[in-house]
Structure 1
Amino acid sequence: MAHRVRAAAARGTLPDALEHRIDLGPAPGRRADLIAELQQLTALHPLRETLWQRLLTALEQSGRRSEALEAYETIRSQLADELGADPGAELKQIHARLLIDPEQAPAPAEPTRCAPGGAG
């Protein structure tokens, strides 16, 4: 396993491999560990928006909305300062979702179910 990690790091694909593992989800009861790991990864790769997306989502799912908003401001200012750019569409969507008061947010719509035979 360590050999694969070193090889991925040498090829520059380590962040991709880590993101894939993170997408598999934390082990039960290990969300705090996942958040800590994502915080370390965003420090190592401060402009990699996909890591920030995962961090914001993990913080939100852990009920740490204010920390997620602070993290968004961190990446927003880093992108502006270093690249003169705004966050991408996915980060903006997560930010918009974080700004909605969960008590006032509408309930998610029920998925549309098709009748047998394909008639909707």
Structure 2
Amino acid sequence: MQKPFNKKIIYIAALIFVLLIAWLFTGYVRSYLDEGQQTTFFIKKFPTFQLEFVDPFANEGDSPAIADLSTVDRKSLVDYCKYRFGVTSDSDDALDTCAQNIPGYLKQ
């Protein structure tokens, strides 16, 4: 005779599944305003285990030109644009379009 599954195991498995899905589809980016830091959460367009993303335009200062970004900063921007806005191209035009999506509270 087989033993029925323990309900606790099913609940734990369901909780783990929900947390995994939340992790895969939730991300955040930090903005720097008036010497303070603000964290903005967003729903990712594609699943990834990466939680924190970097947007070099998420501050009140002058934004660098796409062509002037270092290789590391450009890769960070490509990842951010892909997972937040669904921009899958890494061309200058695509990244410039993505950079235009600066949150309203940062626009002056």
Q: TM above 0.5, one fold?
A: no
**Shorter-chain TM-score: what band?**
under 0.3
Whichever of the two has the greater Rg, that structure is: 2
| TM-score normalised by the chain length of structure 1 | 0.24
- Structure with greater helix share of residues: 1
- Structure with greater strand share of residues: 2
Q: Which structure exhibits the higher relative contact order, with contacts defined as CA atoms closer than 8 Å and separated by 6 or more residues?
A: 2
